[in-house]
Amino acid sequence: MTIGIIGACNVTLDFASRAIKSGHTILISHTRNNDTLKVAVQKMGCKAKLVSKEKAAKAKIIILFIPHADVEVFIADLPDMTGKILLHTNNPIFSTECLKSGLKTRLSSEIIAHFLPTAYSVKILTILEPVLILPKKINPNEIFYVTTNQKVKQKVETFFKKLDFSAYDFEEVCRSNIANRGVKYI
């Protein structure tokens, strides 16, 4: 299977590496400048290709990492995304403007759902500060996700398993921990 990656960060590059090890072909596009990825993509071997965002968007599963301020503009000119699974990794903020009081800021996932309503949006969460979230050590193979579509959930779980992740539905984990242990999430 071909996996599209739009936007580069540690998480998306880890996905690329795992996907290649699993036999997938990776089409990578940087949101700002593909030249910054040339060396990294070359090191990944012949299963990784540096391409335009339009070519990366042709894959059935697409992993997105787009700075929050750029989401709306960046996805506005993507090709038809009907039926595609979009795994978006976070809400990076590169400006404190959106943090000022009184400013209403939508999450990246809300913007993606608005502009790409026929795609299946899956939010990916990784633990950066494990002490604040879970009372155990961080496991680099654990990944959390949020989606409301059960069919997509099964596909995503299968995909994550092939990439050697232990994948957890974040909402289920929260409900379970709150009900069973009274753990509070920040």
pTM over 0.95, yes/no? no
Partners of 85 in the β-ladder? 61, 120
Predicted confidence at residue 105, as pLDDT, reads: 56
How many other C-beta atoms are found inside a 10 Å radius of the C-beta of residue 115? 15
- Residue-by-residue DSSP string for 58-115: TSSEEEE---GGGHHHHHHT----TT-EEEE-------GGGGSTT-----HHHHHHHH
Q: What is the pLDDT of residue 178?
A: 54
Say what the pLDDT of residue 93 is. 41
Residue 66 pLDDT: 82
Sorted by where each starts, the structural domains of the chain and their CATH numbers stand as 2-181 (3.40.50.720)
Q: What is the pLDDT of residue 182?
A: 52
Query: What gap in Å lies between CA 169 and CA 109, rounded to an integer?
Result: 16
Please give the average pLDDT of every successive group of 10 residues along the chain, which has 186 residues: 89 90 93 78 92 93 84 83 87 46 58 85 68 54 83 91 88 67 48
Find the helix or strand (DSSP H, E) in which 17 lies: helix 10-21
Q: Are 93 and 68 in contact (CB under 8 A)?
A: yes
